[in-house]
Amino acid sequence: MSGRRWTSLHLLLLLLAMALGLCLGGDQVSSPIEIWSALAGGGSPDGEQPVERDILFYIRIPRVFAGALVGASLALAGVLMQGLFRNPLASPGVLGATAGGAFGAVLAVALRLETLAGLAVPGAAVAGTWFALFVVYALAAGRSRLSVLHLILCGVAVNTLFSAGTSLILTLSTDRYEISSKIIHWLTGALTNRGWEHVLLILPFFGLTLPLSLFLARDLNLLLTGEESAWSLGANLDRLKRRVLLLSALLTGGAVAVAGMVGFVGLVAPHILRLIQGPDHRKLLASAPLFGGTFLILCDLVSQRLIPPEEVQLGIITSLIGGPFFLFLLARERRPQ
Amino acid sequence: MISGSAAAGAGGLEPILRLENISVALGGCPILAGIDADFHSARVNAVIGPNGSGKSTLLRAILGAVPRASGRVLLGGREAERFDRRELARAIALVPQDTHLDFSFRVEEVVLMGRYPHLRPLERERPRDLQAVEEALRRLDLLPLRRRDVTTLSGGERQRAFIARALATEARLLLLDEPISHLDIGHRLDIFKLLSELARGGYTIVVVLHDLDFAFRHADRILVLDRGRKASEGEPQEILESGILEQVFGVRLAKLPSENGPHFTWKRVEK
């Protein structure tokens, strides 16, 4: 199939997932007819706004959009990272980006910054992500050439540091139940009560990054055949690495800010896509956001409907689905052809 | 070459590569010191030398992939530094030493990468690009394998895919970094037959080799490097007779008596 057909197929699947999210989200199931009448604005004969309409407009629609954008951002960041590291096992977590974001958010929660400004916690998450990647970049770029191995090693170190910081804050907050439960909420990732302000928070990050990423497709393809080889065909490697890092920071920052730490999407989504449509980044960069969005909306639905009216944390669901699937892929790949 | 693919494709240009006083130091360690060399078109130029003599670094220096401490690279009389990156990629193509891939590109996708220097960032491939890919696939007998995943190919097939990629760039100067080291004897001979044909067709071939037999049997001209310096340069026969190999490699060619005429083999000599 051509790249365009794949993109259309993925778009269709995303729209289906969004429709499912609207019908099945929350603790009650709505029929498509109910949804349609609420969307069309047909109130009851006595002129009152039906409560379904509010649920739809202020809870379900923003939640579905937020989910789509978070999934899209993580999947796109995953494609970029795996391309840069020439390793299908890389993900935004490798460079400490998610750990940095989580640390920022957790610190803000512990300091009760959300009482000062509504978006203090997401803002701190973005700052944490950027700070982590900045530290990694500054350490790795100290050499004359930006070496991928060096980046990974710095990422491991930064990851460890931020995770330790997060654990420390969590330990110090155990006697304050309210704060520690919020922290755990962040660390496992969720889309509960995400409204339009969250959609507006992540939208510029994603909207800015997607078109810029598409420009990197060919250079990322070349990089997969080796650095020297890529250089000989005109790829500007240092510039490419800087751009991939910057774009991944924007994407991961936005995603962590809205949903906390949602694991495995950035790892599994690109991997699945590569298996079904090949490693060409011109196709991957277009379809990964659509596929990631679909995947996250469906995971979010499972998290809402598994044991209603309780919600299971989204990050637990993505890991429960993504982890075994990933193991399956690895086992399948290793089988001799 | 200068005005893009059309000029290069028309073959109106014979890029002659000249290296002037090339020195490269990596991490404070001198790798190449004052290399002067000319590479003419329509020839197979071999670069030989013991391990660590700077052969691969010389190719990198030609591509501008390592910073040069001194010297100039002239392509058709014009300084390589004055080329922009894509322009240079249309003039010089590299067949890398390591053709291993972890990602399952199709053969035709790898060959298509040779057209990237001809395309603007978001531009789709034009009929001319697809034609160049077809031509390169045909030339390397890869048409039956075009849809195959490169990670499932044998070493020889993968090597051919990367040579096809280099041809698809329409560059007339091909650099090959030890193209035969992982191949069996039959495939080695195939590669050299192809390189000779390309040279006869006006390509300039610069090939780094470990295998002296192949260098002396198939190259038109040989550059000998020794610990980052040029030890010698000339026709294969001149090099063999000059005794430079004894100094550089510590080997000499010895004649073995045989019923069907003399056989030759390399013998170790004390340096």
Which of A127-136, A198-207, B40-49 shows the lowest per-residue confidence on average (mean pLDDT)? A127-136
Range of the domain at B32: 5-105+171-268
B88 vs A337: CB contact, 8 Å cut-off? no
Taking only the tens place, the pLDDT of each residue in A17-35 is: 998 888 887 766 677 777 7
First-residue to last-residue Cα distance in chain A: 23
* Probe site for chain A from B58, B103, B124 (most A CB atoms < 10 A): B103
Burial bucket for residue B152 (CB in 10 Å: 0-12, 13-18, 19+): exposed
In chain B, pLDDT over 90 holds for what percent of residues? 56
In angstroms, the CA A95 to CA A97 distance is 5
Q: Is the confidence at residue A2, as pLDDT, over 90?
A: no
- CA angle in degrees (0–180, nearest 5) for A321-B101-B215: 170
B105 vs A233: CB contact, 8 Å cut-off? no
What's the pLDDT score for residue B130? 95
**Domain count within chain B:** 1
- Mean pLDDT (whole number) for A208-233: 92
- Mean pLDDT (whole number) for A227-236: 91
Give the one of B96, B101, B152 whose C-beta lies nearest to A337's C-beta. B152
Using 50, 70 and 90 to split pLDDT, how confident is the model at A144? Answer: low
Q: Does domain A68-334 have CATH number 1.10.3470.10?
A: yes
Measured between CB atoms, does A274 come within 8 Å of chain B?
A: yes
What's the pLDDT score for residue B122? 84
What's the pLDDT score for residue A285? 93
Q: Which residues of chain B have pLDDT under 50?
A: 1-15
CA distances from B72 to B18, B31, B62, B232 (A): 8, 16, 9, 20
A225 vs B101: CB contact, 8 Å cut-off? yes
- Mean pLDDT (whole number) for A90-104: 83
Here the CATH number for the domain that contains residue B205 is: 3.40.50.300
Report which of residues A140 and A210 the model is more confident about. A210
B63 vs A231: CB contact, 8 Å cut-off? yes
Residues within 8 A of A (CB atoms), B 67-126 only: 67, 85-86, 88-89, 92-94, 96, 98-99, 101-106, 109-110, 113-114, 116-117, 119, 121-122
CA distances from B68 to A163, B57, B62, B72, B86 (A): 42, 10, 9, 9, 20
What's the pLDDT score for residue A141? 67
CB pairs under 8 A between A and B: 75
What residue has token string 């197979």? B44
The predicted complex's ipTM stands at 0.87
What's the pLDDT score for residue A333? 63
Instruction: Calculate how close chain A gets to B90, using CA atoms only, in Å.
Output: 8
Burial bucket for residue A290 (CB in 10 Å: 0-12, 13-18, 19+): buried
Contacts of B164 in chain A (CB under 8 A): none
Structural domain includes residue B93? yes
In angstroms, the CA A288 to CA A135 distance is 28
Structural domain includes residue B47? yes
Q: Is the confidence at residue A217, as pLDDT, over 90?
A: yes
Structural domain includes residue B177? yes
Taking only the tens place, the pLDDT of each residue in A110-129 is: 888 877 776 788 888 888 98
Taking alpha carbons only, the member of A80, A59, A69 closest to residue A270 is A80
What's the pLDDT score for residue B209? 93
Other beta carbons less than 10 A from residue B255's beta carbon? 10
Measured between CB atoms, does A231 come within 8 Å of chain B?
A: yes
Contacts of A225 in chain B (CB under 8 A): 96, 99, 101, 110, 113
Q: Is the confidence at residue A164, as pLDDT, over 50?
A: yes
Instruction: Calculate how close chain A gets to B97, using CA atoms only, in Å.
Output: 9
Measured between CB atoms, does A218 come within 8 Å of chain B?
A: yes
Give the one of B96, B113, B116 whose C-beta lies nearest to A228's C-beta. B96
Structural domain includes residue B140? no
What's the pLDDT score for residue A278? 87
A225 Cβ partners below 8 Å, 6+ apart?
Answer: B96, B99, B101, B110, B113
What's the pLDDT score for residue B252? 84
Mean pLDDT of chain A: 84
Contacts of B67 in chain A (CB under 8 A): 144
Cis peptide before A309 (omega within 30 of 0): yes
Which chain A residue is nearest to residue B171, measuring alpha carbons?
A: A233
- Mean pLDDT (whole number) for A66-89: 89
Taking only the tens place, the pLDDT of each residue in B171-226 is: 999 999 999 888 888 888 989 999 999 999 989 999 999 888 889 989 999 999 99
What's the pLDDT score for residue A66? 94
Domain coordinates of chain A in residue numbers? 68-334
Measured between CB atoms, does A278 come within 8 Å of chain B?
A: yes
A233 vs B113: CB contact, 8 Å cut-off? yes
In angstroms, the CA B91 to CA A25 distance is 58
Alpha-carbon dihedral B62, B64, B66, B70, rounded to 10 degrees: 70
Contacts of A226 in chain B (CB under 8 A): 96, 98
Which chain B residue is nearest to residue A87, measuring alpha carbons?
A: B102
* Probe site for chain A from B105, B116, B133 (most A CB atoms < 10 A): B116
Taking only the tens place, the pLDDT of each residue in A253-303 is: 889 888 888 888 888 889 888 888 889 999 999 999 999 999 999 999 998
